Amino acid sequence: MKILITGGAGFIGSHVVRLFVEKYTNYHIFNIDLLTYAGNLENLKDIEGKPNYTFIKGDITNEVFINELFEKHKFEKVIHLAAESHVDRSIKDPLAFVKTNVIGTMVLLNAFKNTWKDSFKDKLFYHISTDEVYGTLGQIGLFTETTAYDPNSPYSASKASSDHFVRAYGETYGMPYVITNCSNNYGQNQFPEKLIPLFINNIIHNKPLPVYGDGNYTRDWLYIKDHAVAIDLVFHKGINHETYNIGGFNEWKNIDLVKLLCQQMDEKLNRPKGTSEKLITYVKDRPGHDLRYAIDASKINKELGWKPSVTFEEGLNKTIDWYLNNETWLNNVTSGDYQMYYQKQYN
């Protein structure tokens, strides 16, 4: 089976690519990634020589390129992760998010539909989305698969739009698809612009820890490897035209999470208790900031038997250890040197 994974050099994509390449040696995995600032091939160093793996540098918004690729390889299944993924960047440059997340998804949908329109038998378009499409919750309640979409940031609006197009292709053209909407991921290889790796890096270097507003924003957190396992499960067992919410059953107020992180970092760096907490700095709130996200993941749990394998404390512990043991990765990312890896390796 030929599977196209988009955005496989990014944080979540690299874990999914590795899992599929190592576990399914009878599948051929094609990873297409533009290698934007968020794409890092160093994430996949360990599998790049595997015979069932091919990396292709390319842009999902380039229609000619994508159509040619589908014509040549006839990908039977797609796992679509490529996206602009950072809310703060979407506030600064919303159009870039429409281009990649909406147009890019459309280009892939069209190429997939045109390749298989005579028979979609045993084909699948798996679209990876976010819980942010549901907007914000008050103090109580959970997002279920039937919660109405109500996106508040340009990022979540672009993801919501792409979800709608995937559904529309399912209804209009009979295209087989599944969608998963997942909560905040954390773990190894995450670009240090997102909260947990950013704060780990700042604590290492004794830099301020910028906390938005009063720090009471609440998110559900999911360990990356548990997400990759859920994706594997939905890919193989998910029901056509269904959506599954994926979450960690693990809600944290930002400020409580940051304090836990500070405690664990102090212990690991042998710094006196309370040292890292002194770095916490409250900063002006993000516009349109959603108060609370929380996921009801009971559908995937009941129907597919998935549940997270680690507690937050364990996952955070593993994550911190990884960043402390992979200083070169972190330095290459923060200095920009990781962007040379593709040239060195592939030219």
Question: Are 232 and 268 contacting, i.e. CB atoms less than 8 angstroms apart?
Answer: no
Q: Catalytic pick from 33, 42, 59, 131?
A: 131
Binds ligand NAD by CB under 6 A, chosen from 31, 36, 245, 264: 36
* Nearest to 208, CA basis, from 281, 282, 285: 281
What is the separation of C-alpha 103 from the centre of its chain, rounded to a whole number of angstroms? 18
Instruction: Find residue 159's DSSP bridge partners.
Output: none
For the bound state, the minimum distance from the C-beta of residue 158 to ligand NAD, rounded and expressed in Å, comes to: 9
Beta strand 218-223 with 251-253 is antiparallel
For the bound state, the minimum distance from the C-beta of residue 52 to ligand NAD, rounded and expressed in Å, comes to: 20
Work out whether 85 is an interface residue with ligand NAD (CB under 6 A). yes
- Residue whose pair of structure tokens reads 């909407």 in the numeric block: 181
How far is the first Cα of the chain from the last one, in angstroms, to the nearest whole number? 28
Q: Which of positions 93-152 make contact with ligand NAD (CB under 6 A)?
A: 100, 104, 128, 130
Binds ligand NAD by CB under 6 A, chosen from 153, 184, 218, 245: 184
Cβ-Cβ contacts under 8 Å for 83 (sequence gap 6 or more): 7, 100, 101, 104, 159
Q: Catalytic pick from 126, 155, 169, 186?
A: 155
58 exposure class (CB count in 10 Å sphere: 0-12, 13-18, 19+): middle
Q: Catalytic: 131?
A: yes
Return the structure tokens found at 317. Answer: 């512990």
Work out whether 61 is an interface residue with ligand NAD (CB under 6 A). yes
Whichever of 55 and 116 has its CB closer to ligand NAD, that residue is: 55
Binds ligand NAD by CB under 6 A, chosen from 20, 70, 120, 191: 191
**DSSP per position, 290-303:** -SB--B--HHHHHH
- Residue whose pair of structure tokens reads 């004794």 in the numeric block: 206
Whichever of 169 and 191 has its CB closer to ligand NAD, that residue is: 191
Work out whether 159 is an interface residue with ligand NAD (CB under 6 A). yes
Work out whether 197 is an interface residue with ligand NAD (CB under 6 A). no
Q: Catalytic: 341?
A: no
Work out whether 187 is an interface residue with ligand NAD (CB under 6 A). no
For the bound state, the minimum distance from the C-beta of residue 289 to ligand NAD, rounded and expressed in Å, comes to: 16
Work out whether 10 is an interface residue with ligand NAD (CB under 6 A). yes
Whichever of 128 and 316 has its CB closer to ligand NAD, that residue is: 128
Binds ligand NAD by CB under 6 A, chosen from 3, 4, 82, 142: 82
* Nearest to 228, CA basis, from 21, 1, 57: 21
Q: In the 8-state DSSP scheme, what is residue 30?
A: E
Report the catalytic residues. 131-132, 155
Q: Which residues bind ligand NAD (CB under 6 A)?
A: 6-7, 9-13, 33-36, 38-39, 59-61, 81-83, 85, 100, 104, 128, 130, 159, 182, 184-185, 191
